[in-house]
DNA sequence: ATGCCACCTTCAAGGTGA
C-alpha cells in the first residue's frame, strides 16, 4: 500500500490540484495538514468520489488535519493527548484496516515555533514532548504504526539549501532537533533515512524570493514508522513535480510504499 | 531590520506561516 503525507495549505483553495494528484498517484492513505477549514466545510464528496473515507479534525482559518483512506477507518482519535486547553487542530489518529494488517496512522502538523523568543517556541517544544509521550504509549501495542506529517523540523544541515540562513530558527534549534531525535530513540524509523537518505531533497519551498526557481527548499515533512511497519517498507519518494503546478501548495507530497 | 508571497477573515487590512 502507498501512504502519503501532504501539507496542502488550504484544502478548499487546493481541491482541484489535490484530486488531480490523487487520481494520478493513487495513494491508499493520505495524511493532510493545514486544511484551514472547519470540519463541516471539508470537501468530503470530492474525496469520497475518488473512493476515500475521511477522518477530519478541522479548525477555522488555521491548522486542521485529516486522513483519507481507501480502507475502512476505525478508532479515530482527534487531538494529541496531554494538552489541557490546547485548541489547535494539529493531530488526528485512526486505525485503518489495510489488506494484510490493521495499521495505526497519525496525521501531524507540528507547531512552527517562530519567533523563538515568544511563547510559540515553548509551545512547540512542549507539543513535541507530548508527541513523544503518546508515541511511546502507542509503540507498546507492537503493531504497525505510521506517524506522518509536517514536523517543522530541519533535522540535518543537509536538509536545507543554506544552514547559515536557518541557524537560530525554531525549525533548526538544538532544542527542536533534540526532541525530534528523542522520537527516533523510542524505536521509530525515519522512512526517508531508511530508503534514500540523500541530502538536498526538499519537501517545502517558500512562495517568496523565488525559492522554487532557485531550489531553495527545506526537508521538513517526514514519515516515521514502528518496527512492525518499517519491516515492510519498500520505498520512499518526494513528489517534487507537484510544486510546479498551477496554484501549488508550498509543500509537496511524500509517499511511502509498504508491503502491508 | 523589513518585506518579499499566499493563506485566512463579518470585504480590508491585519494575523499567520516557515
Q: Phi first, then psi: what are they for A84, rounded to 5°?
A: -65, 120
pLDDT at A100: 87
A15 close to A40: Cβ distance less than 8 angstroms: no
| A36 is near strand B: CB distance < 7 Å | yes
pLDDT tens-place string over residues A141-153: 999 999 999 999 9
For chain B, which bases have at least one atom within 7 A of a protein Cβ?
3-9, 15-18
Q: C-alpha cell of A207?
A: 512562495
- Cβ distance A256 to A6 under 8 Å? no
CATH superfamily of A2-258: Endonuclease/exonuclease/phosphatase (3.60.10.10)
Indicate the angle between helix axes A120-139 and A174-185, nearest 10 degrees: 10
Global model pTM greater than 0.95: yes
> Which one, of A186, A29, A36, A119, lies nearest residue A15 by Cα?
A36
In angstroms, the CA A47 to CA A51 distance is 7
The C-alpha atoms of residue A116 and residue A38 are separated, in whole angstroms, by: 28
- A207 Cβ nearer than 7 Å to chain B strand: yes
A41 closest-nt by C1' vs CA: B8
Find the Å distance, CA of residue A60 to C1' of nucleotide B9: 10
From the Cβ of A119, is strand B under 7 Å away? no
| pLDDT tens digit sequence for A177-217 | 999 999 999 999 999 999 999 999 999 999 998 999 999 99
- Has residue A67 got a pLDDT over 90? yes
Amino acid at each position: 500500500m502507498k501512504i502519503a503525507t501532504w501539507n496542502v495549505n488550504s484544502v478548499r483553495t487546493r481541491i482541484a490540484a489535490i484530486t488531480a494528484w490523487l487520481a494520478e498517484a493513487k495513494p491508499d492513505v493520505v495524511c493532510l495538514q493545514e486544511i484551514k477549514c472547519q470540519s463541516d466545510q471539508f470537501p468530503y464528496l470530492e474525496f469520497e468520489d475518488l473512493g476515500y473515507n475521511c477522518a477530519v479534525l478541522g479548525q477555522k482559518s488555521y491548522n486542521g488535519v485529516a486522513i483519507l483512506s481507501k480502507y475502512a477507518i476505525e478508532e479515530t482519535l482527534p487531538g494529541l493527548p496531554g494538552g489541557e486547553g490546547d485548541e489547535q487542530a494539529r493531530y488526528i489518529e485512526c486505525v485503518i484496516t489495510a489488506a494484510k494488517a490493521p495499521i495505526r496512522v497519525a496525521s501531524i502538523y507540528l507547531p512552527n515555533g517562530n519567533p523563538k523568543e515568544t511563547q510559540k517556541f515553548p509551545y512547540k517544544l512542549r507539543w513535541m514532548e507530548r508527541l513523544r509521550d503518546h508515541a511511546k504509549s502507542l509503540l507498546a501495542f507492537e503493531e504497525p504504526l505510521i506517524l506522518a506529517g509536517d514536523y517543522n523540523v530541519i533535522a540535518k544541515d543537509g536538509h536545507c539549501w543554506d544552514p547559515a540562513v536557518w541557524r537560530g530558527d525554531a525549525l533548526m534549534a538544538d532544542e527542536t532537533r533534540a526532541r525530534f531525535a528523542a522520537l527516533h530513540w523510542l524505536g521509530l524509523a525515519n522512512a526517508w533515512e531508511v530508503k534514500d537518505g540523500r541530502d538536498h531533497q526538499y519537501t517545502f519551498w517558500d512562495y517568496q524570493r523565488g525559492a522554487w526557481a532557485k531550489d531553495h527548499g527545506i526537508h521538513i515533512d517526514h514519515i516515521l514508522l514502528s518496527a512492525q511497519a518499517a519491516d515492510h517498507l519498500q520505498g520512499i519518494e518526494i513528489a517534487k513535480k507537484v510544486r510546479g503546478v498551477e496554484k501549488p501548495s508550498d509543500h509537496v507530497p511524500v509517499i511511502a510504499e509498504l508491503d502491508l
